[in-house]
A = this chain, B = another copy of it.
Amino acid sequence: MALWTSADRVRAAIDAVVATRGITLQQYNVLRILRGAEPDGLPTLAIGERMIERTPGITRMIDRLEAKGLVARERRSGDRRCVHVKISRTGLELLAGLDRKIDAADRGAFATLSDAELSRLTELLERVRDAHESESGR
């Protein structure tokens, strides 16, 4: 319970920040992933692998992001099944405007912990997560 409620509190705090620019936290995460994949872009499913959502959800989220002009789809030569998704200039600008605020909110969320406590927390959480690696298949 402590795990779920604290995760939700932090989520709510960060969500409030990204909501000021009209996107959701999940969409923000996708944009961040795509920024990290510049300038090549990433196939749709490769984005999904780094996220919590299932495949069809990714397709529709990309739909919404594309409708907002934040990303672009592109069929490449080579494997024509793949759809490469690239973040647009507008998308990059949106992220740039959000970076500092997110950083502040993130820092604020864990402000009660010292640096040492924060690393300890991260370490324990990663061990819990990684223990599920094999079973859950992700």
Contacts and interface: CB of A to CB of B under 8 A. Distances in A.
Interface residues of A, number: 32
Given A128-B109, A132-B109, A3 B13 contact: no
A5 interface: yes
B113 A120 contact: no
Nearest to A131: B112
Give the oligomeric copy count: 2
B12 A4 contact: no
Nearest to A12: B136
A90 interface: no
A9 B128 contact: yes
A59 interface: no
B11 A4 contact: yes
B3 A10 contact: yes
